[in-house]
RNA sequence: GCGCCUAUAGCUCAAUCGGAUAGAGCAACGCCCUUCUAAGGCGUAGGUUGCAGGUUCGAUUCCUGCUGGGCGCGCCA
């Protein structure tokens, strides 16, 4: 509908230009907004405000001219029943009843309602979580999982071909530390012993890994199968087993969270396939490196960094961002013109380095590539006190804890319902309480109520057809109009959330829609005697239920038929 | 010291690439279950949008400078 009005306004602008009321070079970005206040109609436009100065007229006078010309168009007036000039010069559009209710049949008939083709089938890769296999996933990973998966769903809904990818370091110093820690536990040592590895992982899960290793267990993860040989002196075997064990554990957590990946990418494979060496050679050949103090440096300051960065340490090993550059070159070469990295804001300093490295490769990668979505830190509260997140201390709140205590739906909703750029306080006590403090229940309850209405309509033999559009004129209460307006907004909300990479906009929308539904439910009885009214309400109820379910699905939250 | 994020009602958060009177939930108070699920609804109260400037018809939004909070600033990842 916005597009419809926008097209007509474009025509008006063209007319005004040819009538010399507007300068030829005037290029307005015509903005059609949803109104906050119903008194302002359904949609509002600021064209007269934008064009007033170029036209040399008062905004309200110009608005008057625009409205007159629109009123001359009968096609337009069929869809827009009334126009008003308001405030400094807004033009408010009141949609006709037929226009307002048309969304009901759209929703009921179009299984793809809300979807669009903005992405035009282009490939996009979303890398998220990417936790190292040194322990169970913590709540920060949970936020990454929730946001990353919702972004994936949003982009799928807007016509992109999405690859979900998980990258992990299976070979670095932290993995050595992991292996040493497991070995120490296998030998019966604890953190209190003198020979306990320096900075060893102290969490209880290390004991589990050690016991499983000693028991000769077999674990399967990421298409690899590892059987423990129970030899506490075989550090290499311990390393392989520990990585597989923890990867399996992480995958079970992610599965319980409703998140699945298409690709698991191992840092070690970058070395095995020579991609790191190839990238380094290219950087050297391109002249962006120099040797100093026995190390090899990349001149990242050429690309906006505040100082140059070491690529190859004096011990011959590469610093972490070098394989990162090789990895992203590989992403590019796999044909991903659009890549989104969802990661914790504590790693934001890598962005400049990776982008600098990619530019220095000189392979025509665009300057701002790839995109990043950074989520801020999550603070966990329990019993009114902050629970510290520390991977090495082993006393952090795991994603598994949350899923077990709070439930998958509520956890996903809480972690995705806030802007990623905002810090998040996760109050476990609040989230796990079975009271109505929990906003996800509010939305799910709206869905369950509508499902219940549908059941009872069926029991009473109140059948209806999706084609009964003539009944829709009966939808004239304030509450029904509010629901209709919100339903019509759904496609643009999905598009906007996808464009701005902000899943929380969906959560916000769903809350609004649920609120409108609950108000309606309380104000109007659905299963009334009047067949016309009843059918209209059942149709709107079915459409609302469908959109609630679609929205919840974008968040990865279930839409229960009863609660 | 430098970089990124952030500051909105008592609390947790929204606010459409700058729009009209800044909105929800929780907490507080008052109502509504003989009616399709009260995990609900209706109403009241609650604000100098951290501070000071600037840009403009219009600023929570953009710019500058302060102040407070978080994260980062390693030949760790």
Q: Which nucleotide is nearest to A457 (CA to C1')?
A: B36
Q: Which long-range contacts (CB under 8 A, 24 or more apart) does A51-59 make?
A: A51/A13, A51/A16, A51/A22, A51/A26, A52/A89, A54/A22, A54/A23, A54/A26, A55/A16, A55/A21, A55/A22, A57/A21, A58/A89, A59/A88, A59/A89
Q: Which residue segments constitute the domains of chain A, with CATH numbers given?
A: 2-95 (3.30.1360.70), 378-432 (no CATH), 437-555 (1.10.730.10)
Protein CA A402 to sugar C1' B75 (Å): 38
A8: which DSSP letter?
H
Distance, CA of A541 to CA of A513 (rounded, Å): 12
Q: Which nucleotide is nearest to A526 (CA to C1')?
A: B36
Distance, CA of A25 to CA of A9 (rounded, Å): 16
Q: Which nucleotide is nearest to A92 (CA to C1')?
A: B20
Protein CA A557 to sugar C1' B77 (Å): 32
pLDDT recorded at residue A172:
82
Q: Which nucleotide is nearest to A346 (CA to C1')?
A: B71
Distance, CA of A239 to CA of A193 (rounded, Å): 21
Q: A429-455, pLDDT tens digit by residue?
A: 777 776 666 788 999 999 999 999 999
**What are the residue ranges in chain A where pLDDT is below 50?**
389-393
A398: which DSSP letter?
B
Protein CA A441 to sugar C1' B26 (Å): 14
Q: Which nucleotide is nearest to A512 (CA to C1')?
A: B24
Protein CA A298 to sugar C1' B22 (Å): 48
Q: A326-359, pLDDT tens digit by residue?
A: 999 999 999 999 999 999 999 998 999 999 999 9
pLDDT recorded at residue A275:
96
Q: Which nucleotide is nearest to A86 (CA to C1')?
A: B20
Q: Which nucleotide is nearest to A349 (CA to C1')?
A: B72
Q: Nearest Cα to A323, choosing from A172, A221, A222, A176?
A: A172
Check residue A300 and give left, alpha or beta (phi > 0: left; psi -120 to 50: alpha): alpha
Protein CA A559 to sugar C1' B38 (Å): 20
Protein CA A417 to sugar C1' B10 (Å): 22
Integer-rounded Cα radius of gyration of chain A: 29
Chain B: nucleotides below 7 Å from protein CB are 2-7, 12-17, 19-21, 23-27, 35-42, 57-58, 69-77
Protein CA A436 to sugar C1' B10 (Å): 20
Protein CA A86 to sugar C1' B20 (Å): 8
Counting Cα atoms < 13 Å in the Cβ hemisphere of A468 gives 18
Whether ipTM > 0.90 holds is yes
pLDDT recorded at residue A498:
95
Protein residue closest via CA to C1' of B33: A522
Protein CA A31 to sugar C1' B18 (Å): 11
Beta-carbon contacts of A444 under 8 Å, excluding residues fewer than 6 positions away, are A409, A552, A557, A558, A559, A560, A563
Whether the Cβ atoms of residue A221 and residue A247 lie closer than 8 Å to each other: yes
DSSP three-state, residue A436: coil
**Residue at token pair 């000769």:** A216
């Amino acid at each position: 509908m916005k597009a419809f009005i926008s097209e007509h306004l474009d025509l008006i602008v063209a007319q005004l230009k040819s009538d010399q009321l507007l300068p030829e070079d005037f290029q307005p970005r015509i903005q059609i907004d949803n109104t906050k206040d119903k008194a302002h109609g359904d949609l509002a436009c600021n064209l007269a405000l934008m064009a007033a100065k170029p036209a040399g007229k008062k905004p309200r006078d110009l608005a008057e001219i625009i409205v007159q010309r629109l009123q001359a168009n009968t096609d337009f007036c069929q869809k827009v029943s009334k126009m008003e000039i308001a405030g400094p010069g807004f033009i408010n559009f009141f949609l006709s009843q037929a226009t307002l209710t048309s969304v009901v049949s759209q929703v009921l008939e179009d299984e793809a309602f809300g979807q669009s083709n903005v992405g035009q089938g282009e490939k996009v890769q979303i890398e998220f979580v990417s936790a190292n296999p040194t322990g169970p996933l913590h709540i920060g990973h949970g936020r990454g999982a929730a946001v990353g998966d919702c972004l994936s769903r949003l982009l799928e809904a807007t016509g992109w071909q999405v690859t979900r990818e998980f990258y992990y370091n299976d070979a670095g110093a932290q993995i050595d530390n992991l292996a040493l820690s497991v070995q120490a536990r296998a030998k019966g040592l604890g953190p209190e012993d003198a020979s306990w590895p320096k900075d060893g992982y102290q969490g209880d899960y290390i004991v589990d890994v050690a016991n499983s290793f000693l028991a000769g267990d077999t674990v399967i993860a990421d298409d690899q199968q590892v059987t423990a040989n129970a030899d506490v002196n075989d550090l290499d075997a311990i390393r392989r087993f520990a990585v597989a064990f923890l990867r399996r554990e992480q995958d079970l957590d992610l599965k319980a969270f409703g998140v699945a990946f298409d690709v698991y990418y191992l840092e070690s494979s970058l070395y095995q396939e020579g991609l790191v060496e190839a990238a380094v050679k290219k950087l050297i050949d391109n002249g962006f490196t120099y040797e100093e103090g026995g190390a090899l440096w990349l001149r990242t300051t050429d690309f906006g960094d505040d100082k140059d960065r070491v690529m190859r340490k004096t011990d011959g090993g590469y610093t972490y961002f070098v394989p990162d550059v090789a990895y992203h070159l590989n992403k590019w070469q796999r044909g991903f013109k659009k890549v989104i990295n969802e990661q914790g804001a504590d790693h934001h300093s890598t962005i400049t380095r990776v982008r600098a490295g990619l530019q220095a490769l000189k392979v025509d990668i665009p300057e701002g590539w790839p995109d990043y979505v950074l989520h801020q830190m999550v603070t966990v509260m329990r019993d009114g006190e902050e629970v510290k997140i520390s991977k090495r201390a082993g006393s952090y709140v795991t994603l598994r804890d949350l899923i077990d205590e709070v439930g998958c739906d509520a956890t996903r909703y809480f972690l995705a319902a806030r802007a990623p750029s905002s810090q998040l306080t996760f109050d476990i006590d609040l989230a796990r309480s079975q009271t109505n403090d929990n906003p996800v229940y509010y939305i799910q309850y709206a869905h369950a109520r509508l499902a219940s209405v549908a059941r009872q309509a069926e029991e009473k033999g109140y059948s209806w057809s999706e084609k009964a559009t003539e009944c829709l004129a009966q939808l004239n209460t304030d509450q029904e109009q509010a629901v209709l307006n919100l339903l019509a907004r759904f496609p643009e909300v999905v598009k906007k959330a996808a464009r701005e990479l902000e899943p929380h906009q969906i959560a916000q929308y769903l809350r609004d829609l649920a609120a409108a539904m609950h108000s309606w439910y309380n104000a109007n009885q659905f299963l009334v005697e009047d067949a016309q009214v009843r059918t209209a309400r059942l149709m709107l109820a079915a459409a609302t239920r469908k959109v609630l379910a679609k929205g919840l699905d974008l968040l990865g939250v279930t839409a229960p038929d009863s609660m």
